[in-house]
A and B are shown apart, each in its own frame.
Chain A
Amino acid sequence: DVKEEIFRYVTEGDFKSKTYDELAKFVDKFGARPSGSQVLEDSIDYMIQITKDEDINDIVTEELEVPHWIREQEKITMLEPRSKHIAVLGLGKSVSTPPEGITAEVIVFSNFDQLAETPRQDIDGKIVLFDPIFTTYAETVVYRSQGAVKAAEKGATASLVRSIAPFSINTPHTGSQYYSDSVPKIPTAAITLEDADLIRRFYDRGEKVVLNIKMTSSYETKISRNTIIDYKGIENPEKLVIVSGHIDSWDVGQGAMDDGGGLFISWAAPVILKRLNLRPKRTIRSIFWTAEELGLIGAYDYEERHRNESNNINFIMESDEGTFSPLGLVVAGNEEARCIIAEILKLFESINASTLVESDSPGSDIAVIVKTGIPGASLHNANEKYFWFHHTEGDTMNVESPEELDLCAAFWTAVSYIIADISSDIPR
């Protein structure tokens, strides 16, 4: 009754609320942990220490170069048709405006097709606002990640995006974006749903909208570290079942949800097993990815560095879309692999966590590894409100629940233990 033993210990026993309490201590102590910052490195050292405090000492770090983009001053003022402050968050690695800012008329597009159909002379010198209505993150995030390049190709002086979120209390949501070497780099930022919709209404009425955008930032590279913790298997220690989350966060909010929750349930898995003296046949490896937010930098480094031993990865898991009530797993793998995972998930029907969702590319960091053919899964959870808080000042401990984190930690630990202990490898 291994599964029951784990759940009793985590939800009723000595580990009850431990995941939440440790996450809260961590988040309160360090706050936001942007890529390349000293606070991120200090937080990595802290995670290593609290793991050693649990008498788990098989820990290595791997250094890599990461972006260090520092947000400085950001201000947008609407000058026409009336004066208004526009709440703003620059997008990751955005270039600065000139000191006096960029003052220009706004042209609004709800999709890239409209942009492509519009003559360059109608866009040249203007500020482009993309205002897609949020459907799913996957469908709309391209307007954040590629908007600056698409707008610059048409001669825009800056680009803005309606925050990629389904709900807002005038909250801008930051995020990554990617420049192309072949087009000019223009300043780019997110504005709130409310302000984007206001500008859209003016625009549709034929009223000229003029903004002044002032943004400054700096950019350099620094050294950071992926953290790898092994809880060695007793029969096949070379074979790995990986649980993971990313330790870096955006510079706004505190990264309690994104991805503090995923980080701490992946820390908890070997800790819980060690405390219960449960040691599976294969090794359970916890990885704390660095620099996920600016482009999965840590994951790419790990995949490249460990490529020649990737045949040892039996299964890889990640939680980076919330640690609310667990519902099951989002699984990539062949049919036999999915059948084995589905059979394991049947053990969790009593907590309503037995759903298997099929996906070719679950997770964020682990997608880098899954796309090489390694089976993997991300946590399927009741995250309907995840994008309310994502990449905002609202990503704080108040989003997290001790009871839900206990369920996630127990589920994550039990699933990884069973996969690591059954007689059959997960087939590829």
Chain B
Amino acid sequence: KSVAKSLNKCQTLLSDDLINEIASYK
């Protein structure tokens, strides 16, 4: 197992809408 050092591509893989949607659950 290794802790994910970076998920660099997330910004390109996920839409802003989805990121904002997930953040809204906070």
Contacts and interface: CB of A to CB of B under 8 A. Distances in A.
A358 interface: yes
Contact of A347 (B2, B3, B25): B25
A234 B2 CA distance: 37
Contacts of A336: 13-14
Interface in A396-424: 414, 418, 421-424
A53 interface: no
B4 A338 contact: yes
B14 A339 contact: yes
Interface in B1-26: 1-4, 7, 9-10, 13-14, 18-19, 21-23, 25-26
Contacts of B21: 422-423
Interface residues of A, number: 26
Contacts of B1: 330, 357-359
A414 B26 CA distance: 10
A421 B21 CA distance: 10
A347 B13 contact: no
A423 B13 CA distance: 15
Nearest to A1: B26
B19 A335 contact: no
Given A2-B25, A335-B9, A423 B4 contact: no
Contacts of A421: 25
Contact of B23 (A339, A347, A357, A358): A347
A405 B19 CA distance: 29
B3 A343 contact: no
A358 B25 CA distance: 24
A356 B2 CA distance: 9
Contacts of B2: 357-358
Q: Which of A1, A421, A424 has the most CB of B within 10 A?
A: A424
Contacts of A359: 1
A418 B2 CA distance: 25
B18 A422 contact: yes
Interface in A322-371: 330, 335-336, 338-340, 342-344, 346-347, 355-359
A3 B26 contact: yes
Nearest to A349: B26
A310 to B, nearest CB: 24
A172 to B, nearest CB: 27
Nearest to A337: B13
A335 to B, nearest CB: 6
A201 to B, nearest CB: 34
B7 A342 contact: yes
What are the 4 tightest A-B residue pairs by CB atom distance, in nearest-first order? A339-B10, A336-B13, A343-B22, A356-B4
Given A335-B9, A343-B23, A422-B21, 8 more contacts: A335-B13, A338-B4, A339-B13, A347-B22, A356-B7, A357-B2, A423-B18, A424-B18
12 contacts: A339-B9, A339-B14, A340-B14, A343-B14, A343-B19, A343-B23, A356-B7, A358-B1, A358-B4, A421-B25, A422-B18, A422-B21
